[in-house]
């Protein structure tokens, strides 16, 4: 059971806009910045978005992140076939001590 | 650019201690202001942060594993290590080492699968 809640799957057709949500609480998303990772099968995750909405170096502009209250979102505008991957959100949690928590991951399928 | 490589046994018996090492290249572990972290991913599941050691020597662990985990840094070998004691099948996972800045994991090793089985 992950501390952050993500839908297990999402899908879209090429060119569509897709949004993946990440829901938390006041002790994590509500008081800390959110990061997003992209992971292809059999490979290590790669940092995609940091500090809620900053794209990591080399990340296409079609990827964007946002945060409001205790939820965050990753949006892909103009979906491409190569975007088919797993996406994970993460942030600090301050409830018990200060530690990093992840969402369960969302598998994005490009139809 | 920093590169990381995990190494260690791929099979550990239940109740024993899992030990992994992460070797750093492309930079010195003692001069960069990163934190050095471990993250794992059970087969078919999401990511779980295990803990980090930062450049000041401050170590943080995830509460659920805190009683069993030790992360240490060896500056002479440019490595950092993970030890997880009293392992069970639930500890079977791909283990990644990573460089971190705050909660952001910027560089990752390729990962190593550790299976807990007798």
**Which residue, among A3, A47, A58, A100, would best test binding to B if mutated, counting the most B CBs under 10 Å from its CB?**
A100
Could you tell me the two tokens for A1? 């059971």
The 3-class SS string of B60-80 reads EECCCCCCCEEEEEECCCCEE
Is A46 an 8 Å CB contact of chain B? yes
> Which residues 11-70 in chain B show a CB within 8 A of chain A?
45-49, 51, 60-63
**Which residue in the set A56, A90, A103 is minimally distant from B103, CB to CB?**
A90
First-residue to last-residue Cα distance in chain B: 39
Chain CA centroid to CA A89, Å: 4
Task: Give the C-alpha separation, A64 to A73, whole Å.
Answer: 8
| pLDDT one digit per residue (tens) for chain B, 118 residues | 889 999 999 999 999 999 999 999 998 888 767 899 999 999 999 999 999 998 778 899 999 999 999 999 998 999 999 999 999 999 999 999 999 988 899 999 999 999 999 9
Cβ distance A35 to B106 less than 8 Å, yes or no, reads no
Strand pairing partners for B68? none
Instruction: Please measure the distance between the N-terminal and C-terminal CA atoms of chain A and give it in whole angstroms.
Output: 28
Q: Report the C-alpha gap between A24 and A71 in whole angstroms.
A: 6
């Amino acid at each position: 059971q992950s501390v952050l809640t993500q839908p297990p799957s999402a899908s879209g057709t090429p060119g569509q806009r897709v949004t993946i949500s990440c829901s938390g609480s006041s002790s994590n998303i509500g008081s800390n910045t959110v990061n997003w990772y992209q992971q292809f099968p059999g490979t290590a995750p790669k940092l995609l978005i940091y500090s809620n909405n900053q794209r990591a170096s080399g990340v296409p502009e079609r990827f964007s992140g946002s945060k409001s209250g205790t939820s965050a979102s990753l949006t892909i505008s103009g979906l491409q076939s190569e975007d088919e991957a797993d996406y994970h959100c993460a942030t600090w949690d301050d409830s018990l001590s200060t530690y990093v928590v992840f969402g369960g991951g969302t598998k994005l399928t490009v139809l | 650019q920093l590169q990381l490589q995990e190494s260690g046994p791929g099979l550990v018996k239940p109740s024993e201690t899992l030990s992994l090492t992460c070797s750093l290249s492309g930079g010195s572990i003692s001069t960069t202001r990163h934190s050095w972290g471990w993250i794992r991913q059970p087969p078919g599941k999401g990511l779980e942060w295990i803990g980090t050691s930062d450049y000041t020597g401050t170590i943080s662990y995830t509460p659920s594993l805190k009683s069993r985990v030790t992360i240490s840094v060896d500056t002479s070998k440019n490595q950092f290590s993970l030890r997880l004691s009293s392992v069970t099948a639930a500890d079977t996972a791909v283990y990644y080492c990573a460089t971190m800045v705050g909660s952001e994991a910027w560089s990752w090793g390729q990962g190593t699968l550790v299976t807990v089985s007798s």
